[in-house]
Structure 1
Amino acid sequence: MSDGWWFQRDGERVVWRGTPRLSAALPGVGLGVLVCVAAAAAAITVDVRLAAGVLPGGGVAVWSVLGVKRTEFVLTTRALWAKRGVLGRSVRRVGTRKIQNTAFTQSPTGSVFGYGTVTVEVAGGEELELRRVDDPETVQTTLRERMAGTDGVIPGSSDQWRSVLRLTRAIRASVAHADSARGDDDAS
């Protein structure tokens, strides 16, 4: 059931999946285009051999896009997984019990277009950032639910909870009866 870079244990299920928005590559693409334009201008005005600078500029742009495309995040009922890397692959797994705190931030454009960064503080480790993910507030809420160990599902069946209610009422009645009996003894 996993994609080969993360694994699931019995009963574990995916709660959320996400990737950064492609706009996260814009700074690298912009730099690559700037290098390409500068190399082309230098080739026209100075020396044709300077056109070779277009290759590194294109490489920077492609590298930035691939870096974003090959980044994935998966939250299961037991862990948060993050995969990054263009030529190689770096995978990090953080058990939900190791997550100490979460926060999200949004830039003004992120607020308008619905993306932001979710920061995850990890006990005994480096914090993890889920950059430029869609709807970061929902992602943070989902992470907090996992930290608390809840799925939004109440454990037990209706019959079990009715039994607990009957037992609680019986205990309350017994305590009330004992209090009233003790009150009668004190009055005499």
Structure 2
Amino acid sequence: MSRPDDTPTVSADFNLDSGESAVWTGSPRLSAAAGGLLAGGGLALAGVAVLVGAWLPDVPSRSPLVGLALVVVGLLVAAYRVVEVRRTRYLVTTDALHVRSGVFGRRVARIGLERVQNSAYRQPLAGSVFGYGTVSVEAAGGGDLAFRRIENPREVRALVDRRVEIAADPIPGTVEQWEAVLEEVRALGAVLAR
């Protein structure tokens, strides 16, 4: 998780509003691709078995093209899932929550902090041991989103809750305006102290 003094780098894909700045960025752990890797690996192994069987004399004839096709499809399934996980990014800004994903295209989902109604985090047993989990956010009007298989989900949820709280009760005015008010109050205090 980013420390407050770190400014996360943000891809141009997020198209932040003016005045909006990044507070935290993250991505899913590569282990999120495990299902695709297992499925793809299983297909590739089945393809290798068909290829080997096609050349054995005592095994009924099977087309080597079927085996080759299974290997290629298996490798493509595994590669697609890894790329999909690697291209997914999560972002918490001063104004919103963002999820960017997509392999061939790009999908960016955004929920303004003022629409967030509830947040939760979930850690399976393995997630508790290895420090990952999912942060889910419910939004008014639908469009819920989740930061899946991220590091330190409890801290990220706490950060989201703090940002929502700040968005719900912002301090009016700019820093410069408040410094001017402070200067006037000090001048008034000096006059009254005489």
TM-score normalised per structure 1: 0.78
Aligned-residue Cα RMSD (Å) equals 2.8
Q: Which residue of 2 aligns with 1:50?
A: 66
Q: Which residue of 2 aligns with 1:183?
A: none
SS in 2 for 1:5: helix
Q: Which residue of 2 aligns with 1:37?
A: 45
Matches of 1:2 and 1:21, distance apart in 2: 18
Matches of 1:39 and 1:25, distance apart in 2: 21
Q: Which residue of 2 aligns with 1:94?
A: 111
User: Cα distance, 1:125 vs. partner?
Assistant: 1.3
- Stretch moving more, 41-50 or 52-61: 41-50
Paired residue type of 2:130 = F
8 Å CA contact 1:40–1:50 kept in 2: the answer is no
Deviations 1:83-113 (A, max 9, x none): 1111111111110101111000001110111
Are residue 8 (structure 1) and residue 16 (structure 2) matched? yes
Are residue 126 (structure 1) and residue 143 (structure 2) matched? yes
TM-score normalised per structure 2: 0.76
- 5 Å-filtered alignment, 1:27-176, equals 27-46=35-54, 47=62, 48-52=64-68, 53-149=70-166, 160=182
Matches of 2:10 and 2:88, distance apart in 1: 15
User: Cα distance, 1:129 vs. partner?
Assistant: 1.1
Matches of 1:51 and 1:141, distance apart in 2: 50
SS in 2 for 1:12: coil
SS in 2 for 1:149: helix
Q: Which residue of 1 aligns with 2:58?
A: none
Matches of 1:8 and 1:27, distance apart in 2: 33
Matches of 1:7 and 1:50, distance apart in 2: 45
8 Å CA contact 1:100–1:122 kept in 2: the answer is yes
Structure 2: segments with no counterpart, 5+ residues: 1-8, 55-61, 186-194
User: Cα distance, 1:2 vs. partner?
Assistant: 4.5
Report the identity percentage: 37
Paired residue type of 2:51 = A
Matches of 1:104 and 1:147, distance apart in 2: 15
Structure 1: segments with no counterpart, 5+ residues: 164-188
